[in-house]
Amino acid sequence: MKTTKAKSFQVPWVGLVVLLTLLAGLFPQAARAYDLPPVNLGFTTFLDGGPPAGPGFYFTQYLQYWTADTLTDRDGKRILPAAAGEDLSVWISLSQFIYQSDQPVVLGGKWGLDVIVPYVSPDLEYDVAGPFPRANSAGLGDILVGPFLQWDPIMGPNGPRFMHRIELQLIFPTGKYDSDRQINPGSNFFSFDPYWAGTLFITPRWTVSTRIHYLWNATNHDPSVPGADDTQAGQAVHLNFASAYEVLPGKLRVGINGYFLKQTTDSEIDGRDQPGSKERVFAVGPGLLCHFSRNTHLFVNAYFESGAENRPEGERFNFRIVHHF
């Protein structure tokens, strides 16, 4: 019988990935890691460079299941002894509201606005009782607001050739947070996570897409690290990549999808760099995109992680439905 010790984790929005300030004060290595907020790892994939039906209002609902049974250190090895039997499973719901205008404002780019509201329901269990991290209850995470510029597709004789977008994502610390708990729905700090996304049509039926972010995090002035006055998570690069082939014209695309995250600067505690705190992970897996109509689309994606450092390593399954009004 497993003993439940935690049932939530820090999720600014997404998406996304688990923020685990796990084991701080219990294991010295972990006290210097697991600092990054959740970000877009695998939530967006095929045809990411442009909206599927042009300007207007869009609603997107994401449902992602993430599971991991290994918490890694700076060398990718287990932090906890095998007897702990850690088992993390998380359901993440993201409700996204997008308005894409038809009004060019900068270099032909048309302005738009992206708002994402997360809700997270995690479960963390162990095979044995111990001085493991405590968690806050499930709830709303940190809200994301992203103004963006979308460029019209560059057209060729047989359809679009290339489409792309830039977005300035702002993640606000609006989620539930308790510094006496190591795992929270909110991060308690602001993050800036701008990105560029593009899709290239190699042929009318074969596409490749990517979304490249650079993450910057502000200071947490009420951290869960024992004895610390403040902490600041390091900066990071993270990206999604995907390639799909249209097997049923106008109906179905199948392909591969993946993501990569690498922290580029050390995290800080009380203004001091923490060597060995940088996080890293890579994942790849299959995916498909169903077009029910020009206005309604379903994405299904699976990811299998490897090479994790200073973070959990597991599998991720993502469902996303998009509707244009």
Residue located via tokens 């009318």: 204
Q: Give CA–CA dist 259/261, Å, rounded.
A: 7
Question: How far is Cα of residue 209 from the mean position of the Cα atoms in its chain?
Answer: 17
Q: Is the pLDDT of residue 51 over 60?
A: yes
More confident residue, 146 or 34: 146
Query: Rounded to a whole number, what is the distance in angstroms from the first to the last CA of the chain?
Result: 49
Q: Is the pLDDT of residue 290 over 60?
A: yes
Q: Global pTM? A: 0.87
pLDDT in tens, 39-50: 999 999 999 999
Domain residue ranges of the chain, discontinuous segments joined by +? 3-324
Phi, psi of 84 (to 5 degrees): -65, -35
Q: Give CA–CA dist 130/62, Å, rounded.
A: 34
pLDDT class of 252 with cuts at 50, 70, 90: very high
Q: What is the mean pLDDT of residues 67-84?
A: 83
For residue 46, give the nearest of 195, 203, 245 by alpha carbon.
Answer: 245
pLDDT class of 120 with cuts at 50, 70, 90: confident
Structure tokens given for 130: 């111990």
Helices (H) and strands (E) in the chain, counts: 0, 21
Q: Percent of the chain beyond pLDDT 70? A: 88
For residue 5, give the nearest of 182, 125, 139 by alpha carbon.
Answer: 125
Q: What is the mean pLDDT of residues 128-153?
A: 87
| Inter-CA distances, 101 with 51, 109, 114, Å | 11, 10, 12
Q: What is the mean pLDDT of residues 211-239?
A: 94
pLDDT at 7: 35
Phi, psi of 173 (to 5 degrees): -80, 70
pLDDT class of 131 with cuts at 50, 70, 90: confident
Segment holding 286, helix H or strand E: strand 280-291
Are the C-beta atoms of 141 and 173 separated by less than 8 Å?
no
Query: Which segment of 20-34, 133-147, 169-183, 288-302 scores lowest on mean pLDDT?
Result: 20-34
More confident residue, 31 or 317: 317
Q: Give CA–CA dist 23/181, Å, rounded.
A: 11
Phi, psi of 220 (to 5 degrees): -95, 110
Q: Does domain 3-324 have CATH number 2.40.128.130?
A: yes
